[in-house]
């Protein structure tokens, strides 16, 4: 019985260690984001300094928008880090989009590490002004 317990303990410790390792591998930075909304659509501004156009991917699966980018600093090969405030080279963030947004016509713009994404509202969801005729 006691043997079983020890076995279980070892097993769970091993699992925790593995989970920790897995977490370290997928550790990513969460780009800080501002979101503005208008009647025309939604604009997202993401801070992703160090990301170039080639290292950026924007994907839509169903209604989930995923943004991922990796930092390329062209550091010298023998560089030894002495002080680190950014501990990962990858930014990643997901947003769930409402049904009223038209995912086909997203406009993306990357300028000096600032990503601007405009997601238009689909036509049938844009506010319409209805003229009232006075008879």
With CB under 8 A as the contact rule, the residue among 10, 16, 18, 49 that binds another protein is 49
Binding mask 14-33 for another protein (x = CB under 8 A): ------------------xx
Q: Please, what is the minimum distance in Å from the beta carbon of residue 48 to another protein?
A: 7
Task: Tell me if 96 sits within 8 A of 74, measured CB to CB.
Answer: no
Residue 36 interacts with another protein (CB under 8 A): yes or no: yes
- Closer CB to another protein, 79 or 130, in the complex: 79
Residue 97 is given by DSSP the state P
Can you spell out the DSSP letters for 4-63? HHHHHHHHHHHHHHHHHHHHHHH--B---EEEEE-SSEEEEEEE-TTEEEEEEEEEEETT
Output the CA angle 49-77-18, nearest 5 degrees.
Answer: 75
Q: Please, what is the minimum distance in Å from the beta carbon of residue 41 to another protein?
A: 11
With CB under 8 A as the contact rule, the residue among 12, 13, 14, 34 that binds another protein is 34
Q: Which residues have C-beta within 8 Å of that of residue 24, sequence separation ≥ 6?
A: none
Footprint (CB under 8 A) of another protein, residues 64-123: 71-73, 75-76, 78-86, 111-114
Q: Please, what is the minimum distance in Å from the beta carbon of residue 43 to another protein?
A: 8
| CA dist., res. 16 & res. 120, Å (int) | 44
Interacting residue ranges for another protein, rule: CB under 8 A: 32-39, 42, 45, 47-52, 71-73, 75-76, 78-86, 111-114
């Amino acid at each position: 019985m006691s043997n079983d317990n020890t076995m279980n303990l070892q097993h769970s410790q091993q699992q925790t260690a593995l989970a920790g390792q897995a977490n370290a591998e997928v550790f990513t930075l969460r780009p800080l984001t501002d979101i503005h909304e208008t009647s025309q659509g939604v604009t997202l501004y993401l801070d992703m300094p160090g990301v170039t156009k080639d290292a950026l991917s924007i994907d839509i699966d169903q209604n989930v928008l995923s943004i991922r980018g990796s930092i390329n600093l062209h550091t010298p090969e023998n560089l030894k880090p002495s002080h680190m405030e950014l501990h990962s080279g990858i930014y990643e963030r997901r947003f769930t989009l409402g049904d009223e947004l038209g995912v086909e016509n997203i406009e993306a713009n990357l300028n000096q590490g600032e990503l601007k994404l405009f997601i238009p509202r689909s036509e049938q969801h844009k506010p319409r002004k209805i003229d009232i005729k006075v008879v």
